[in-house]
Chains A and B, each alone.
Chain A
Amino acid sequence: MQVKEKMIEKLFLLIALSSITILALITFFIFEEGLPLILKIGPKAFLLGERWIPSKGLFGIFPMITSSFWVTLGALILGIPLGLACTIFLSELIPPSIGILLRPAIQLLAAIPSVIYGFWGLIVLVPLIQNYLGGPGLSILAGSLVLSFMILPTIITISEDSLKALPPSYKAGALALGATHWQTIWRVLIPAAKSGIVASVILGMGRAIGETMAMIMILGNAVKMPTSFLDSARTLTTNIGIEMGYASGDHRQALFATGIVLFFIIMALNILAIFLSRRRVD
Chain B
Amino acid sequence: MDNHCKSQIANRKLKLFGFGIWNLGFLFLLLFILFGVGCQRSKAGITVAGSTSVEPFAELLAEEYMSHHPQSHIYVQGGGSTAGIEAVITRAANIGMSSRLLTGQEKHLYSVTIARDAIAIIINPKNPIQDLSLDQIRQVFSGKIKSWKELGGVSHPIVLVTREEGSGTREAFQKFVMGKEDISLEALVQDSNGAVRQVVASNHNAIGYISLGLVNDQVKALKISGVEPNLADIENGKYTLVRPFLFVFNEEPVGEAKSFLEFVLSPLAQKLLLKEGLVPVLPKIAQE
Contact = CB atoms under 8 A, between A and B. Distances in A.
Contact of B83 (A126, A137, A224, A246): A246
B186 A222 contact: yes
29 contacts: A53-B182, A54-B165, A127-B202, A130-B203, A136-B188, A136-B203, A138-B188, A138-B199, A216-B191, A220-B199, A221-B188, A221-B189, A221-B190, A222-B185, A222-B186, A222-B187, A222-B188, A223-B189, A241-B191, A242-B164, A242-B189, A243-B191, A245-B78, A245-B164, A245-B166, A245-B167, A246-B81, A246-B167, A251-B166
A98 to B, nearest CB: 39
Interface in B50-79: 52, 78-79
Contacts of A67: none
A248 B86 CA distance: 9
A246 B80 contact: yes
B94 to A, nearest CB: 20
Contacts of A126: 202
A51 interface: yes
A204 to B, nearest CB: 27
Interface string A111-139: 00000000000100011001000001110
Give the interface centre of B80, B81, B185 by most chain A CB atoms within 10 Å.
B185
Interface of A: 51, 53-55, 122, 126-127, 130, 136-138, 216, 220-224, 232, 234, 241-243, 245-248, 251
B82 interface: yes
Contacts of A251: 165-166
B228 to A, nearest CB: 28
Contacts of A122: 198
A221 B164 CA distance: 9
B95 interface: no
Given A137-B203, A245-B80, A245-B83, A220 B188 contact: yes
Name B's interface SS: mixed
B202 A224 contact: no
Contacts of A241: 191
A232 B191 CA distance: 15
A221 B191 CA distance: 9
Interface string B198-241: 11001100100000000000000000000000000000000000
A54 B167 CA distance: 12
B179 to A, nearest CB: 14
